[in-house]
Amino acid sequence: MMDTIVLATRGSALALWQANATASALRAGCSDLAIEILTVKSGGDRDQTTELARFGRTGIFTAEVDEALFERRAHVGVHSLKDVPTALPDGLVLGGVLMRGYPEDALVSRSRVQLADLPRGARVATGSVRRAAMLRRLRPDLAIVAIRGNVDTRLAKLDSGEADAIVLARAGLERLGLGSRITQVLSREECVPAPGQGIVGLICRADDDASRRHLDRICDRESAAEALAERALLNGLHGGCNAPLGAHARARDNAISLTARVLSLDGRECIEDRIQGSIDEAEALGRALAERMAAAGAKRLIDAAREG
- Confidence band for 153, pLDDT divided at 50, 70 and 90: very high
- What percent of the chain stands above pLDDT 90? 86
- What percent of the chain stands above pLDDT 70? 93
List the single range of 155-164, 233-242, 250-259 with lowest mean pLDDT.
Answer: 233-242
105-186 classified as CATH 3.40.190.10? yes
pLDDT tens-digit readout, 71-108: 999 999 999 999 999 999 999 999 999 999 999 999 99
pTM (2 d.p.) = 0.91
CA distance 302 to 297: 9
Q: What's residue 48's pLDDT?
A: 47
Domain ranges of the chain: 1-99+199-219, 105-186, 220-308
Catalytic residue among 3, 66, 83, 209: 83
220-308 classified as CATH 3.40.605.10? no
Mean pLDDT of the chain: 92
Same fold, 1-99+199-219 and 105-186: yes
- Confidence band for 60, pLDDT divided at 50, 70 and 90: low
pLDDT tens-digit readout, 166-210: 999 999 999 999 999 999 999 999 999 999 999 999 999 999 999
The fourth-level CATH superfamily of domain 1-99+199-219 is Periplasmic binding protein-like II (3.40.190.10)
Mean pLDDT across 54-65: 65
**Catalytic site includes residue 83:** yes
pLDDT tens-digit readout, 269-303: 999 999 999 999 999 999 999 999 999 999 999 99
